[in-house]
Homo-oligomer: A and B are copies of this chain.
Amino acid sequence: MNRTVLIVALVAAAAGACLAQETRLEELQNKTILLFTPHPDDDVFGAGGTIALLNRHHNRVFIVIYTNDDKGSYDLEMNSQRLARIRKAEEEVSEGLLGTPQENISWMGYDDGMLEYAPQPKLVEETTAIIRRVRPDVLLSVDPGEWYERWHKTDHRMAAFNTIDAVRAAEFWLYFPNQLLQKNLQPFKVPVMYFFYPSPQEANYWVNIDSVWDLKVDAATKQVSQFEPAVHKYRPDWEPEALARLKDEFRKQHPTKDGHYVEAFRRAKDFVQY
């Protein structure tokens, strides 16, 4: 028998916890939410509607972005410092539309596409400190579950594994004990996690985002540099026609469930006992 299963059962028994009665993610109020994203745009594409709902319901949403996203351009006139500036500005506008205040957005400062080559214990240590400082009621993070993501996107793989490793470490003070002893960061157990970009087979939670649909579309399209034609030749704005076409396509491609726009998650909890 896998001990984890046993312990979860014991704990569940002790707590008399009843999953069915927990408040739905999109109905939480006055909670602290912490979201980790590999790049400044995956948060919006993967969970933008949910973020909008959480902000609307007076939660404190914190966005932590692993990388500066400073490489994804075909434009030979572009340079990395300028692209990092552009990405940062776009992200602040996008998240602003979703209701996240600018001071709640923080950047870990890793280079785009290079997260896997960062010194891993240090990366986990930093992330653990963030969790212990923010102490979220709910944590959102990228999921490498989707086959496509897992295989083709190195930053996504790394961000996903690193976040979950930090969740486990945050719980036990003997991981990185100097965080407690020298910086007075108390250990913290993350109560529940939702992973965006899940594989279809593993998605187990869907948030209806109909009521914030326009907000999400607007927020997504503010990331101008991520779309053509700005990827090939940077421009800070849209031709109205191109924008209309993008929004149209966005609408057609976005996942739905039972006739509603939804964002899919893999929900997990109680899983890191040792």
C-beta contact mask, A135-179 vs B, less than 8 Å → 1, else 0? 000000000011111011110000001001100110111111111
* In the assembled complex, A197 has its CB within 8 A of some CB on chain B: yes
The complex places the Cα of A202 from the Cα of B218 at a distance, in Å, of 36
Q: Which residues of B contact A204 (CB under 8 A)?
A: none
Range for the number of chain A residues in contact with chain B? 35 or more
For A177, give its contact among B72, B81, B145, B181 (CB under 8 Å). B81
For A178, give its contact among B9, B68, B149 (CB under 8 Å). B68
Pick the interface stretch among A20-28, A53-61, A110-118: A110-118
C-beta contact mask, A92-130 vs B, less than 8 Å → 1, else 0? 000000000000000101011110111111100000000
**A interface vs B, CB < 8 Å?**
1-7, 9-11, 13-14, 39, 41-42, 45-46, 68-74, 76, 78-85, 88, 107, 109, 111-114, 116-122, 145-149, 151-154, 161, 164-165, 168-169, 171-179, 181-183, 187, 197, 202, 220, 226-228, 231, 245-246, 249-250, 252-255, 271-274
